[in-house]
Amino acid sequence: MMKKYFCILSLLPTLLVVFASTTAQAEEVVVDSGDDLDATTTNVTLTWDRNSESDIAGYNVYYGRVSGDYTRLVTVADPTVVIAVKGSKTIYFAATAYDTNGLESALSEEVHWP
């Protein structure tokens, strides 16, 4: 049975909402060495405000188990992503936007789950 959590975290200049879901399709499952493979899997959904620039091509969501040390990356076209997390160890997230020329913004403020 999946645990359900709800938490709203704000980032500058975007709003990032983190919540767990039992029905969302995950981009990938976060499992690190030493994790209990029988632990509960929670789908963490990250949502933020779309950038207003007309040449935005997509977003990079960086994440990892250590604050400021992002070992994984998911690239998405829309300002939302679902990442499945195994167990309840803290995972940290930050996002960037990139434009049609491949230029990437600075990282957003970091948020974490749980």
What pLDDT sits at residue 18? 52
3-state SS, residue 6: strand
The pLDDT value recorded for residue 22 is: 46
pLDDT of res. 81: 93
Query: Would you give the distance in Å from CA 88 to the centre of its chain?
Result: 15
SS (H, E, C) 33-101: CCCCCCCCEEEEEEECCCCCCCCEEEEEEEEECECCECCEEEEECCCEEEEEEECCCCEEEEEEEEECC
CATH of the domain at 67: 2.60.40.10
- Flag whether 73 is in a domain: yes
In a domain, 1, yes or no: no
pLDDT digits (tens, 9 = 90+) for 7-44: 333 333 344 545 554 444 555 566 565 667 778 888 99
Over residues 61-95, the pLDDT tens digits come to 999 999 999 999 999 999 999 998 888 889 999 99
The distance in angstroms from the start CA to the end CA of the chain is: 17
pLDDT confidence tier of residue 50, bands split at 50, 70 and 90:
very high
- List the domain range (segments joined by +) for residue 96: 6-32+39-113
* One-letter identity of residue 89: K
